[in-house]
Amino acid sequence: MSPVTGAPPAPVPPGEASVRPGEGSVPPGPAPVRRLTVLYDAQCPLCVHLRHWLQRQRQLVPLDLVPAGSAEARRRFPELDHAATLAEITVVGDLGQVYREAAAWIVCLWALAKYRSRAHWLTTPAGRPFARGTVLAAARYRSRALPPCAPGARECAAPPGAVGPPLTLGPW
């Protein structure tokens, strides 16, 4: 998703990967996204469930799933506010694009073969409220499933039995 237009990233056309800017017939515009890193809360049962779901999907754009706040996340993205990445889903593109909240969910769907058209719809005026509502519902679930972290804590413990019933991901 473009931070400016709200549109998903431009796909990489076949045969264009080796063309450099200013050479050949590459149209001007934003560079295509070739890889995304999803920073997820490894202590959150819903987040871990969605991580596994993303891994099972056919990906048009590869997704690297990295625990938020981990040593690996800090090594890859030292400039990010890692406390904030634990509070909300954050996706980072291979060229440094940062997506949060609804935009992060939408760009994850955009990376998947089966859900790309749904991601485009979620960026429209009709779809945006649905995307926002989904993010709010996930946040509400997380607030009930996880105790608040102690100030300055590096990790938060999940309460026993916090997993609950399996999550159903709707008809699309």
- Cβ atoms of 42 and 156 closer than 8 Å: no
User: Residues 22, 2, 35, CA angle at the centre, nearest 5°?
Assistant: 75
Q: What are the pLDDT digits (tens) for 24-76? A: 344 456 768 999 999 999 988 888 999 999 999 999 999 999 999 999 999 99
How far is Cα 69 from Cα 101, in angstroms, rounded to an integer? 17
Q: What is the 8-class DSSP label of residue 11? A: P
Q: Of 108, 103, 107, whose CA–CA distance to 55 is shortest?
A: 108
pTM: 0.67
Return the pLDDT at 28.
59
User: Residues 81, 132, 106, CA angle at the centre, nearest 5°?
Assistant: 70
Mean pLDDT across the chain, nearest whole number? Answer: 76
